[in-house]
A = this chain, B = another copy of it.
Amino acid sequence: MDDATLDRLAELAVRFGSNVQPGQIVAVGAEIGKERVARAIAGAAYAAGAKFVDVSYFDLRVKRARIERSDPSMLDFVPSWYGERLLALGDQRCARVGLSGPADPDALEGLDPERVGKDLLPGLRETGKVVNDATTNWTIVPAITQAWAEFVHPDLEPDAAYARLSEQLTHILRLDEEDPVAVWSERFDLLVDVAARLNERRFDTLHFEGPGTDLKVGLLPTTTFLSARFETVDGIVHMPNLPSEEVFGAPDPQRTDGVVRATKPLVLAGTIIRGLEVEFRAGQVVRVDAETGAEVLRGYIAKDAGSGRLGEVALVDGQGRIGPLDTVFFDTLLDENAASHIALGNAYSFTAGEEDQAKLNQSAIHVDFMIGSPEVSVTGLDAAGERTPVLVRGDWQI
């Protein structure tokens, strides 16, 4: 990515995505390998009046050393100051910028998947609270690295792979538009509108049907669909994900039944899970199969009482820019926005009304996986079982 485009990305992340306000502390979460992007964002944040930019680098190779050599019973330990820092970011009304994309896709290659599944870092339990409290204005944007580019485009020469991924990210992020913010604003207006219509319908259940998939996801009486345009308690509007093409809400964690086949690979704790198939009964995962990496997801699911139940269901139409590229990016931020998806683990409190807060799923994990494609139709069912088409071949029907 050339410097000019990188600066446009940093501007988009700072001025529109996280919408940094003068005087705010800005926390940037990056992995080793993403220094160039992190530095561009730091520069843009200071130019926007940030009081301080706290770039926190996570080193997957140190994580590898831990998984290889640590006492296995210690692999879920997290020092107290990790969570305290995150809570302080909320208390002090900071901005946050996360950088997605596998910086170093081979970092955890060949490790015991059961051990890998125990160490959730850099993920933190406190993230759910800070997001639910809406005290920070935050965004996640993809950060290109050479290793990621070669991983996504293994058939190209290294330089060509980098150029291709750079071009794709530029396109997906609308950085090839004269005014990316205007284009994104229009897209978010549409998604906000779809969410409003879904909320009017008040479906009891969403039924996903397609190759290998026959899944009914029960909704709560007050399930609230949203697009990824958020507002903090202080009224700062921000885009938690750039790109974002989704409309999402909270399932009833007790009422998911059937079988679902993932339509994209899932990258979890550095492991790539391919050919994933999951079966639910009364909301609970009862079977996980995959061609590769099933043990890592099983490890996640064994974390706590809520980690085998759904915390999110999201619908993605065919109008976004990711799906048509027909590329697996090995990055949830991008891949989930190519297709409808569900998430195991913690629910966001703002995706249901007051009466249903106690019913929302609670967990230390939140793992999205993609289940949508043009071949997967989504139908809404009301309490009487009456069926209304919602998404057919990627087009909204409501």
Contact = CB atoms under 8 A, between A and B. Distances in A.
A257 interface: no
Nearest to A69: B46
A62 B88 contact: no
Given A71-B49, A84-B81, A92-B80, A59 B55 contact: yes
Interface in A68-111: 68-71, 74, 77-81, 84-85, 88, 92
A66 interface: yes
Interface string A35-58: 100110011001101111111010
A347 interface: no
Interface in A97-147: none
Contacts of A77: 51-52
Contacts of A47: 69
A65 interface: yes
B52 A65 contact: no
A66 B48 CA distance: 12
Nearest to A66: B46
Contact of A42 (B46, B66, B81): B66
A35 B35 contact: no
A48 to B, nearest CB: 9
Given A46-B70, A57-B32, A79-B25, A39 B51 contact: no
Contacts of A92: 79-80
Given A52-B74, A79-B54, A43 B59 contact: no
A165 B84 CA distance: 40
Given A59-B57, A84-B84, A92-B80, A46 B65 contact: yes
Contacts of A81: 81, 84-85, 88
Interface string A195-210: 0000000000000000
A77 B74 CA distance: 35
Contacts of A35: 32, 59, 61
Given A59-B35, A59-B38, A53 B66 contact: yes
20 contacts: A32-B57, A42-B66, A46-B66, A46-B68, A46-B70, A50-B70, A51-B71, A51-B74, A51-B77, A52-B66, A52-B70, A52-B77, A52-B78, A54-B79, A57-B57, A80-B92, A81-B81, A81-B88, A84-B88, A85-B85
Given A79-B88, A81-B85, 20 more contacts: A32-B32, A32-B35, A35-B61, A38-B59, A38-B62, A39-B61, A39-B65, A42-B66, A43-B68, A46-B65, A51-B70, A51-B77, A52-B66, A52-B74, A52-B77, A52-B79, A53-B62, A81-B88, A84-B84, A85-B85
